[in-house]
Structure 1
């Protein structure tokens, strides 16, 4: 029996499973056998729906198994938590009605409490601890009476912690620890809670475990994961390209202050995103999870793919580039006779390139490299296919293949040219110019036309970068002046003055240079206003001052500048021409530790999408996707193994049972699906779905110029537009109309923020409209929309809470 994945036929290995079962029956290494048999590739290929759990009345945003695996907790937009029984899922589930006033984004069951204590975090900035009476057990023999769901009511007491200043995106617990739990929020902090302690519910409570800061500003946190094998390690998925690993033994809880910004043990990011924090790219990690063994981390990126990193051992010995180069060198030195099988794959790859099927070409070249890893023709062919396919991260992998080819044969002009083109695509301008100069020096009589084109392109990109830099400075100056005029008593440079004044404004006293987001959060009152005036994200604008190297706590970014600037003078790439060009895959420990990329799913419609290792043997990786499917990959090869039809809209959550071959999935629908191995194999054309998803991702969040909108609108409005892409067509109409006038991005931003029409006729006929506002515009006779109009379309007021209409 075989299954087809990515047009490559892979045998399902029954023999290994049979041997493992036999070893288990004879009592040989039962723990090792159980680990290997938890969820294998063969089982994943046969996963089928075991049960559909109905009962919620909103999107199911988070799932969590208890420590024993006999209860599954689900948290939803309906602000309720349901405890489902397993394997007897027909038993009456337990409904926990929380006191949250907005969507719940995090849920965990405290271990060693008999499932009697549940932790939740939500969009209303609150963390809550729910203590169930008498374990909340339903009556004996109780069954679900209908498909819509009947519940056993669970009387409980709830304790709320109002210490965060923005949305709480995740909560986490520690194995076998019934007292402590943690929360991650978009205010850039991780808070630590202890059920035995008091004074944990205020902003000034001394329970800030750590804060995360990037270039001169705090970084919103999206996900949290505790290493079960090393419970002192904490992984944080951040609102920038980095996944940060912290050692909690070096941290201590404290009140909010400047000293709370901890230095991470590791900062992990793919090489093409490593540079993105300075370019304000839209890619960030929405989830980061440790493997069962605790030696790897997998992260899925908004607007990008999923990546796994090795977090153990000597950092200098890890990295895809080192592994591949070492393997190639070893095989070349050994003088192994190549198999002729690779020529067949090369022919198929070349045929696919001729037909402009670049994805198919990459698959064929990769298959050939598995049989002949020292073939420079295959490496260069795949690098060329990467450059023409241009999916996220492809340019970085083109650089990797070119470097591998040049390590085998330094005199390959095509490899040098492709590397320079890839570096330019990644906007490593100094390295690109040095690569071009190397081509000109190494091949003086050849490829002069390509060299001149590359030099011209690099020069144009440098000019565009300089212009954008000047526009950003002008925007920040304009924003600072407007803020000072509109905010009475605002002190120059210091923003909010004393910490007490900042506390009264609902902002952190250590947040300087940022005014309150009063345009939306001004609707808050009472307890909500006391908690803060920022609805989404801590900062509403970037720092007024242009970040400098000394402003950044990001050591990896400093290392990148040192890498690019080594032996160079400006962008001309001058320097010691005999010095080898450094690799972007050696930027930092974070890039060297990259193990595998998982391509197939699409992640940009929500920022709670999960990725995780499956099974105790960490053989598989699962990722949620915008097309409503769960994509399961081979962890070692990155090959898609199976897709699960998990949701009609968007699949966000995937959680593996702690001991059984069972998956729980959820998404935009109000149901939870349970999956277990069946008797038939799925034969879905995964390759077709992969192509569709990458086209969807290419047309998704990257269409708008982030430099224009980021300073023109409040951060929470921009984030809402990013998370709710069905608003994009109307906003694109607005942007295209403005850009069509020939005005600069600065003029567009000013007109957007002031509500004036950029067309100059003043009648608003050319103004686009957002969402339902298009009905108001009619034939264009209405007044132009202001930022306040846009905000009124995105948010609604319910009691004392301002809620996002689309969340």
Structure 2
């Protein structure tokens, strides 16, 4: 058996054991998404789960990746009239609610207007399962690469009362509440109405040190060294390097809340696509491990506000001020409170003037989606990890694949003519190589040998194998992967005309030599101090 996905929004199933009649109304249409979404939907890519072949993953010209269970589907004919128009009624092509799971990065539906303003179309250009079928890798055009867990569903989380369910306030020492993970070095500078003497601060720091004595012992010397190096890069505003080191440290100490809190601060400073949402998730992780993590709690409210979940941001900040009353009058807290209230007012005013529905999330002027489609989107699963550094905006066939004996690496091409290799566990870039003079589209690993085939716009397919460790230099290796990743991030956010000129060979200072994206900070309270 084999399946095909096409740009008319349908998936066909073929069985070589049956004679193919090739009639106009053959009953071989397994999915007709147009009946639920509208005529503008197009399937772009398809993958079959290698260990559970009943699961079919489909990428379309929207950011939602759909995994259908074909045991719950029935092949039907696609009725066509004399004008060749297709059926658009869900009743004529019914689907059961549990026949499909939707996957989407949690920030994308909320930030849809930002992508529209940037004229960036989001579409899955490639989907693939790992060898044991437990993970789904998606190369999302106009955004990053995402890894989803098929077996353990992760729901999109905003403000969780479970995470910070403890309403108990910190204990008081000499009139000052004590909370975990660094309340000095910036936060205390904004305290109003409290006179802190040096003896008070020393007493507070001493108590805090005793309180964290055991937790700091749990950090090995290797993790402590990684954290200090990452903090140093953060202070130098080299946020990408800091994030890479925090990634390594978290893999070695996944229960250290301070690492998640510090990485969240670096994400909020770097501000690449999806970074604010990743910071919000790190704040959740830090609070699960330590409900008294002051900075993670404050950053969570700030992230929610930046992601335009203003109601949740308001509730989170209200909880923050109740739990940490000493900091409720700080300048940072008061400013955030004003920003959230202004956003709430603006959001209410916008809702009164706009009557947008789920149908125009990504397709302007499209017909309304079905009720089932709305449910599937609302129940979409979030990603497990993401891989940043490449650029996928020009072609719609750009692949991403697992690589290595155990799929321990991720490989993908880029619009800058290079391809990237990431370590799957840490999501860090380990190598960038020039694979094409223009664009690298396809990367396929050999099934049994350490061999990788790449192709792009050039009239050549290149084969890549390990070189001997004799100190020789690969002339196709890109020396500075951080610079390459930053340039691609700028390229993704560049004006479409500038991108077209770049692809024609022009160098643009705004992309090649500009300041780092998201240079504006958010106050002392985001600095990692642990």
TM (norm. structure 1) is 0.47
Whether the 8 Å CA contact 1:346–1:378 is kept in 2: the answer is yes
* Partner SS for 1:271: coil
| Structure 1: gaps spanning 5 or more residues | 1-179, 326-330, 477-512, 515-538, 560-587, 705-720, 729-807
Give the C-alpha shift of residue 463 in structure 1.
4.9
**Selected match of 1:286 from 122, 125, 134:** 125
Task: Output the CA distance in 2 between the equivalents of 1:556 and 1:440.
Answer: 36
For structure 1, which segment, 675-684 or 439-448, has the greater mean C-alpha deviation from structure 2 after superposition?
675-684
Quick one: which of 347, 363, 373 aligns to 1:553? 373
Match of 2:71 among 249, 253, 274: 249
Is this contact kept in 1: 2:391–2:491, CA < 8 A?
no
Q: Report the equivalent of 1:595.
A: 384
Inter-partner Cα distance in structure 1 for 2:241 and 2:231:
10
Partner of 1:634: 423
Within 5 Å, which residues of 2 pair with 1:638-657?
638-657=427-446
Give the TM-score of the pair, scaled to structure 2: 0.69
Once the two structures are superposed, residues 717-755 of structure 1 have per-residue CA deviations (whole angstroms, 9 ceiling, x without a partner) of xxxx89968699xxxxxxxxxxxxxxxxxxxxxxxxxxx
Paired with 1:226 and 1:396, the residues of 2 have a C-alpha distance of 30
Out of 179, 182, 189, the residue aligned to residue 10 of structure 2 is 189
In the comparison of the two structures, how many residue pairs are matched? 431
CA change 1:342–1:620 in 2 (3 A) is closer
Distance 1:308 1:369 in 2: 18
Tell me the secondary structure at the aligned position of residue 273 of structure 2. coil
| Partner in structure 2 of residue 219 of structure 1 | 41
Give structure 2 stretches of 5+ with no counterpart: 79-86, 164-211, 505-530
Counterpart of 2:239 in structure 1 is 358
What residue in structure 2 maps to residue 521 of structure 1?
none
Alpha-carbon spacing, 1:686–1:470, altered in 2? closer, same or farther (3 Å): farther
Partners of 1:440 and 1:610 in 2: CA distance:
47
Offset of residue 236 of structure 1 = 0.5
CA distance in 2, matches of 1:600, 1:415: 26
For 1:642, what is the secondary structure of its paired residue? strand
Say if 2:314 and 2:341, in contact at 8 Å, map to a contact too.
no
2:297 to 404, 416, 423: 416
Q: Contact (CA 8 Å) 1:291, 1:297: kept in 2 or not? A: yes
Helix, strand or coil for the counterpart of 2:108?
Answer: helix
- Residue number in structure 2 paired with 1:269: 104
CA spacing shift, 1:191–1:679, aligned 2, 3 Å: same
Distance 1:466 1:232, change over 3 A: same
1:348 correspondence with 2:251: no
CA-based RMSD of the aligned residues comes to 4.1
> Secondary structure of 1:191's partner?
strand
Distance in 2 (alpha carbons) for counterparts of 1:666 and 1:199: 37
3-state SS in 1 of match to 2:480? helix
- Per-residue CA deviation, residues 762-800 of structure 1 (Å, 9 max, x unaligned), is xxxxxxxxxxxxxxxxxxxxxxxxxxxxxxxxxxxxxxx
Aligned to 2:481: 689
Per the TM alignment, residue 648 of structure 1 is displaced from its structure 2 partner at its CA by 0.7
Shift of 1:364: 2.8
Q: CA deviation at 1:623?
A: 1.0
Larger Rg: 1
Aligned partner of 1:310 among 149, 166, 188: 149
Distance 1:218 1:540, change over 3 A: closer
Out of 251, 270, 277, the position equivalent to 1:389 is: 270
Query: In the TM superposition, what is the alpha-carbon distance from 1:695 to its structure 2 partner?
Result: 3.8
Question: Residue 635 and residue 390 in structure 1: after superposition, are their counterparts in 2 closer, same or farther (change >3 A)?
Answer: same
Alignment partner, residue 139 of structure 2: 300
Deviations 1:329-358 (A, max 9, x none): xx9999964334444333322322222111
**C-alpha distance in 2 between matches for 1:332 and 1:192:** 62
- The match for 1:625 is 414
Counterparts in 2 of 1:699 and 1:200: CA distance versus 1, 3 Å: same
The answer to whether the Cα contact below 8 Å between 1:208 and 1:260 also exists between their aligned partners in 2 is no
User: Which stretch shows the higher mean deviation, 627-636 or 414-423?
Assistant: 627-636
Aligned to 1:236: 58
Please list the CA deviations of residues 8-55 of structure 1 after superposition, one character each: whole Å capped at 9, or x if unmatched: xxxxxxxxxxxxxxxxxxxxxxxxxxxxxxxxxxxxxxxxxxxxxxxx
Residue 455 (str. 1) matches residue 337 (str. 2): yes
SS in 1 for 2:465: strand
When residues 701 and 368 of structure 1 are mapped into structure 2, their CA distance, relative to the original with a 3 A threshold, is closer
The question of 1:434 aligning with 2:309 is answered: no
Q: Secondary structure at the match of 1:230?
A: coil
Q: Distance in 2 between matches of 1:542 and 1:294?
A: 37
* Residues 293 and 618, structure 1, Cα contact 8 Å, conserved in 2: no
Shift in Å, 1:671: 1.7
The whole-number CA distance in structure 1 between the counterparts of 2:213 and 2:128 is: 37
- Segment drifting more, 643-652 vs 445-454: 445-454
Q: Note the C-alpha offset of 1:604.
A: 1.3
CA shift for structure 1 position 235: 0.8
Residues 602, 625 of structure 1: 8 Å contact kept: yes
Please give the alpha-carbon distance, in whole angstroms, between the structure 1 residues aligned to 2:253 and 2:431.
Answer: 27
CA contact (8 A) 1:604 1:626 kept: yes
The answer (yes or no) to whether the contact 1:215–1:554 under 8 Å persists in 2 is no
Map Cα deviations across residues 546-598 of structure 1 (whole Å, 9 max, x no partner).
x7xx7452325435xxxxxxxxxxxxxxxxxxxxxxxxxxxx5x22xx33222
Residues 287 and 465 of structure 1, relative CA distance in 2, 3 Å threshold: farther
Q: Which residue does 1:700 correspond to in 2?
A: 492
